[in-house]
Amino acid sequence: MITKEIEVKTSTRMELVDITPQVKRVVEESGISEGMCSLYVPHTTAAVTINENADPSVKADIIGMLSQLIPAGGKYHHLEGNADAHVKATLVGPSEILLVNEGRLSLGTWQGVFFCEFDGPRRRRILVRVY
């Protein structure tokens, strides 16, 4: 088992950052040929997801729809100005689990791993455990 931390520096309030190469690197460095890869985001206004990584408009659509469904200027009880980010992070989720086969991360042809920033810009971290 190996646990590594990936750091992400975001540049806008909301963005999806492709972390697939960093996650693949952790899996390769682990030396584990068959197992699991867990991803965990220890932040309350960020998340992680797996989705299409071939067409950048998919990321724009996800951000656009989340913004439409959960607007930044909504009527929230949490008064720090980032209540929408907490709700978006809850819907997308703080973790993902992927299979590791033949020493490689098992992703579909078009899939990528994305860190989801909902309250940036910030420095963030993702914990990656391969076992």
Tell me the residue length of the chain. Answer: 131
Q: Report how far apart the first and last C-alpha atoms of the chain are (Å, whole number).
A: 4
pTM of the model: 0.96
Q: Where are the domains of the chain?
A: 2-130
Q: How far apart are CA 23 and CA 52, in angstroms?
A: 16
pLDDT of residue 23: 98
Supply the pLDDT for residue 97: 98
pLDDT tens track for 27-57: 999 999 999 999 999 999 999 999 999 999 9
With cut-offs at 50, 70 and 90, classify the pLDDT of residue 109: very high
Map residue 79 onto helix, strand or coil.
coil
For the domain made up of 2-130, the CATH class stated in words is mainly beta
| Residue showing tokens 């439409």 | 68
Phi, psi angle pair for 51, to nearest 5°: -160, -175
Return the pLDDT at 103. 97
